[in-house]
Amino acid sequence: MNKLKERFNKLLQVGEKAFVPYIMAGSSGLEKFKEQLLFLQKSGVTAVEVGIPFSDPAADGETIQKAGKRALEQYGVTLEGVLNFLQEMKNEVTIPIVIMSYVNPIYRLGVEHFINLAQKSGIAGCIIPDLPLEEEEMMTPQLEAAGIELVRLVTLTSSEERIKQIAERGNGFLYAVTVTGITGIRRSFHDQFASYLNKVKQLSPIPVLAGFGISTSEQVSEACEYCDGVIVGSKIIELFERDDFASIVELIEAVNVKTPS
């Protein structure tokens, strides 16, 4: 069984929610990246979404863009370099790792080479936000053969038919984008937040995680009332930059805290 699917099955059995942090690979160098991964693993996260720096990110907000720029310009981080580094850490990192990359870096590296390296590195899944459902056959057969889950995204503008179509393709989890825009910290949720997540949850046969704009413990626990967990990116990056590890732990622990009625 895929490592990601196995992890979510265990969570569902005990009625717990998922917390998946996003970190940019190598934004402070690969050794710091290793420290961050091991800290998150020790802190009890469900999985880690690892961003690959890219020069033209379409979905990333200012915080993640700046982190990616540092990784590229100061440390020369590449997709191949990250996968090779993760392969070296394979015996130390036991939680599922999900790579987040755009199509261009994968295409330039070569789809087969990328999947081969990902498999050797123990990657459980990948998120490719600019790969539409209609074109994913360029790599889904190879990913499936390698036991790597393609995590797909749905948005506020996705129709019910589209959400159902996308959800039925997956086995790990469904990424429910909760804003009509790029990543980044928001102070509050929009009016349709609860109804949107409820709709996605009803239509999806696999776990649903909410992401984009979630940055406080209160938002984490509120989102978990309507779905199976959360993905937190920009805030995690900011807290790591400040070495504020205690606040990261508070966010992680908020997934199973009920919001006051």
At the topology level, CATH places domain 3-254 in TIM Barrel (3.20.20)
Cβ neighbors of 33 (< 8 A, separation 6 or more) are: 23, 25, 26, 27, 85
Other beta carbons less than 10 A from residue 170's beta carbon: 20
pLDDT bucket at 35, cuts 50 / 70 / 90:
very high
Helix axes 30-42, 79-88, angle to 10 degrees: 50
Selecting among 6, 16, 60, 135, the annotated active-site residue is: 60
pLDDT of residue 187: 55
In this structure, what token pair is assigned to residue 222? 């509120």
Catalytic residue among 31, 49, 137, 225: 49
Q: Is the per-residue pLDDT at 26 higher than 80? A: yes
CB count within 10 Å of CB 58 equals: 9
Is 60 assigned a catalytic role? yes
**Residues 51-72, mean pLDDT to the nearest whole number:** 91
Quick check: 206 and 171 in contact, CB under 8 A? Answer: yes
pLDDT tier, 260 (very low <50, low <70, confident <90, very high otherwise): low
243 flagged as catalytic? no
Q: What pLDDT score does 259 carry?
A: 65
Hey, is 121 helix, strand or coil? coil
Lowest mean pLDDT among 93-107, 139-153, 179-193, 221-235: 179-193
Question: How does residue 192 score in pLDDT terms, banded at 50, 70 and 90?
Answer: confident
> What confidence score (pLDDT) does residue 56 get?
87
Q: 87 to each of 2, 54, 93, 160, how far by Cα in Å?
A: 17, 21, 10, 39
CB 59 within 8 Å of CB 129: yes
At 194, the amino acid letter reads: A
For residue 18, what are its two tokens? Answer: 């998922």
> Residue ranges per domain, the chain?
3-254
- What is the reported pLDDT for 186? 52
Which one is predicted more confidently, 84 or 213?
Answer: 84
